[in-house]
Homo-oligomer: A and B are copies of this chain.
């Protein structure tokens, strides 16, 4: 488990100057995490859910098996986009707040 630590405010806008190798590595890892349709839907389900968090049971209906959902949620966690917390029987996922803004910033001129 390599788990690149994204260090949320990472990189300047792509239009400002060429990214360094390390910057590209960190930023690409985040984009890659959103580069799968199933993961993107899972992320969107969490991000748009009431209260800013969602139980796995709320978002498991994306057309793939339960182990696959779990696998994708793990990937999103490892990329630093989501956090998870177990409360009793259920596990809740949340969007890491600064990450969306950081990624948007990289794409903004």
Contacts and interface: CB of A to CB of B under 8 A. Distances in A.
Interface of A: 14-19, 21, 24-25, 27-29, 31-41, 43-45, 47-48, 63, 95, 100-101, 103-104, 107-109
A104 B15 CA distance: 13
Number of copies: 2
Main secondary structure of the interface of A (DSSP, over half): helix
Given A24-B37, A33-B35, 6 more contacts: A15-B48, A18-B48, A19-B44, A25-B37, A28-B36, A107-B107
Given A47-B14, A100-B108, A35 B28 contact: yes
B18 A28 contact: no
Nearest to A27: B40
